[in-house]
Structures are given as structure tokens and as C-alpha cells.
Amino acid sequence: MKRPKPIVEIASTGRWLPDNVVTNQDFEKTLDTSDEWIRERTGIRERRIAPREIGAGYMGVEAAKVAMCRAGIEPGEIDVLICATATPDRLLPSTACAIQAELGATNAAAFDVSAACSGFIYALGVAEGQIAAGRAEIVLVVSAEKMTGITDMSDRSTAVLFGDGAGAVVVRKSTNGRGVLSNYIRSDGTLAELLWRPVGGVVEPMTHEALERRDHMVKMAGREVFKSAVKSMADAADQALLRAGLTGEDVDLFIPHQANIRIIEATAKYAKVPMEKVFVNVDRYGNMSSATIPIALDEAIEQGRVRSGDIILMVAFGAGFTWASSVIRW
């Protein structure tokens, strides 16, 4: 297949994580769980939990400031500001608008993308489309998640899985052949009830009874979600590579969504990418939904694991169900 010419590139990255580290041993004190169970089933050792008063908007602003500073852009230069989040500060207006106001990005169109853990790659695709259509030159993509704000901390099947954090990237026109070689997005809404927050929207508004049942918090059929994640991430890896005219052997760095080390290993094996080329930080942060991939990318750059010209494969899966993938030449 002919290699596509990139239209856009990621000019810079940034991240923000709360200081507060909560270990598996901390959960042993409040839940019927163990460090051993959590490590063996998920690969998670600890996660960051933001204080009550900090939301996705705050975290997104901090990550965005780092990315903007590294790209050398001023807030007024941003044409489009997209926030991928499953944990918006408010249901109305968007968290992107809150981030816009705080940054002073007065020339931007700001909106949220709701695609759960796949949100970053969805938002990257939207950014690419805006720039390709000539409607924008600079797009700020922010993935900000306060997952612990929608997690029932008395439910051991979900409480130990999630963490808080934000990542941001500045997207602009491609230079020197570097940038996004493929972007693949898919969803299957028929399986929504396997991973969702049943109550709190307009169809099932909050009631006292629902609040007591904690039906406004994340409910997940873990085993079923696991199976779908493995299957869909394999499809996503295939499609991103196919559309980029590459194979797993061409990949220099694989950045999968960080939900569970067993899902990561299965996807890497399927895509024929050896584990030494896979970026893993699920042990330190848990599942931060859409923020996992941009945070991992930022850490990979900081650790010197990304060189100019490298092929990066990114693959995600989440509620919806949604799944998505992208190949980038760095």
C-alpha cells in the first residue's frame, strides 16, 4: 500500500498529574482486596488521585500550558480547542470552554469530544480534519480525566482501577514529512451497558434512590469488557498499520491505552510488537481514560524513547464501546 503523506503533526506535548499517590496497600485498608490481586489482574501498583476541588478543567489547563510553552504558541493563536473527557467539570457547558476561558484562548472554537478512553485519538482525528479542511492552523487537544470523581470507592471491582490526570498536545500542519499517517475510529453502541454510568443524564435523572445505589457512578462488567477490549484493540492495531502502509515490525514505539497490563500484552503480541517497544505506565497511574495515551507519549519523549522519524502506534478502547488507533511518524 502507498504510504500516506501526513497532513498534521504533533508539535509538542504536556502532562499534569496530581501529587497524591494512592497505593494498592492503601486500598487493602478500606476494601476486601489485596495488592497481589490488583497487580496480577491489572498490573497496577499505584495511581494518582486529585483532591475534591480539582476537576478535569484544572488538570487540562495545566497540561495545556506545558504543551503550549514547548510549541512556543500564545493562547490567542489557538483556532480550535478540543477536550476529550469522560469526566467533564459540568454537563453544561463543555470542559473545553472552561479550559478556553482559563487559558485566555479567545480566538478558539472550543468543544468536548465524548469517546471515553478512545477520546484522545478521536480528538486527534477531528483536529486533523479541521486543519485538512483549511479551517484551522493550530489545534489544542486536551485529554483530562478525573476518573476518581465518577468511581464508587466502595466497589472493589472498579475502585482500584482508575486514576486522575491530563495530557495535552499542540497539533499543526505537518513539516518535513512527519506527523499523522493514519487515524482510525470505530464504535459499537449496542454494548453500552457493559461499561457506563446509568443515571444522571436526562433519560434517567438523579433520584435519592439512585444516589443511594450509586447508579451515577461507573458500572463495568469487567470480564466482558476485557474480551471486547482485546478483540477491538487488535482490529484497531491492524487498521492503523494497514492505512499507514506499515506492519508491526515497522513500529518503533507502541503506546496502547493503559487499562490493564494483560490487555496491553495481548494487543502487543497480536500486533507483533515486542514488549521492549511497548510503553507501559499503568503500574504507576492506573486507567486515566482518554488521558493515558497523551500522558504516556509525553513521558516517552521525556525518557528519550522517541527519536525523530520513529514510527509510533497508538491504540485505545473504551466505553461506548469505542476503539481507535493512529500511526504517527515522529
Residue 127 or residue 264: which is nearer to ligand UT7 going by CB? 264
CB of 65 to ligand UT7, least distance (A): 27
Cβ contact 65:40 at 8 Å: no
Residue 33 or residue 107: which is nearer to ligand UT7 going by CB? 33
CB of 318 to ligand UT7, least distance (A): 4
d(CA 115, CA 324): 10
Name the region of 286 (left: φ>0; alpha: ψ -120 to 50; beta: rest).
left
Residue 146 or residue 329: which is nearer to ligand UT7 going by CB? 146
- Select which of 117, 183, 216, 260 is catalytic: 117
Q: Which residues bind ligand UT7 (CB under 6 A)?
A: 33, 37-38, 41-42, 117, 156-157, 160, 222-223, 225-226, 229, 259-260, 263, 287, 317-318
- Select which of 97, 183, 216, 257 is catalytic: 257
In the residue annotation, 208 being an active-site residue is answered as: no
Residue 139 or residue 229: which is nearer to ligand UT7 going by CB? 229
SS3 at position 312: strand
Tell me which residue has its CB nearest to ligand UT7.
Answer: 222
C-alpha cell at 45: 501498583
CB of 267 to ligand UT7, least distance (A): 11
In the residue annotation, 287 being an active-site residue is answered as: yes
In the residue annotation, 83 being an active-site residue is answered as: no
CB of 175 to ligand UT7, least distance (A): 33
Please list the alpha-helical segments (H only) found in the chain: 24-28, 35-42, 56-71, 95-103, 119-132, 156-159, 208-213, 222-244, 261-271, 282-285, 292-302
C-alpha cell at 262: 494483560
Provide CB contacts within 8 A for 101, sequence distance 6+: none
Active site residues: 117, 257, 287
